[in-house]
Structures are given as C-alpha cells and as structure tokens.
Amino acid sequence: MMIVMEKCKKCLSCINVCPVQAIREKDGVLEIDRDICLQCGCCKSCCASDAIVHD
C-alpha cells in the first residue's frame, strides 16, 4: 500500500483505523510503514479521497 499525497486531504482517518499503527505523519507527509503493514485494506476502504493504492 502507498499513499498518493497529491490526492490525500490529510483527514487522518487512515491513521485512526489502522490496526497496527503502520501509518504515520512525518514532516507533513503520511507514510505507510511497509515492515508492519498487514495489507488488510482498512485504510484504503476508509479513504474518502481514494489516495491509498496498492503498489
């Protein structure tokens, strides 16, 4: 999974639903930690701006 920042509205709903806290904000940019991401799709399904995609 990856976040397309050009689409992201920084609503942070993805951070709130991630069961393993794999999404973090760093220097104004949201990042998914691929080492702990479960690829469960919770973040993708809650993203209203469709900014989270499979890479």
Domains and their CATH numbers in the chain: 2-53 (3.30.70.20)
Q: List, in sequence order, the alpha helices (H) in 3-51.
A: 13-17, 42-46
pTM of the full predicted structure?
Answer: 0.86
- What are 30's two structure tokens? 């949201």
pLDDT confidence of residue 51: 97
pLDDT value at position 55? 83
The whole-angstrom separation of Cα 10 and Cα 28 is 9
Q: What is the pLDDT of residues 9-37, one digit of tens each?
A: 999 999 999 999 999 999 989 999 999 99
Residue 9, pLDDT score = 96
Structure tokens at 23: 């999404």
At residue 34, the pLDDT reads: 95
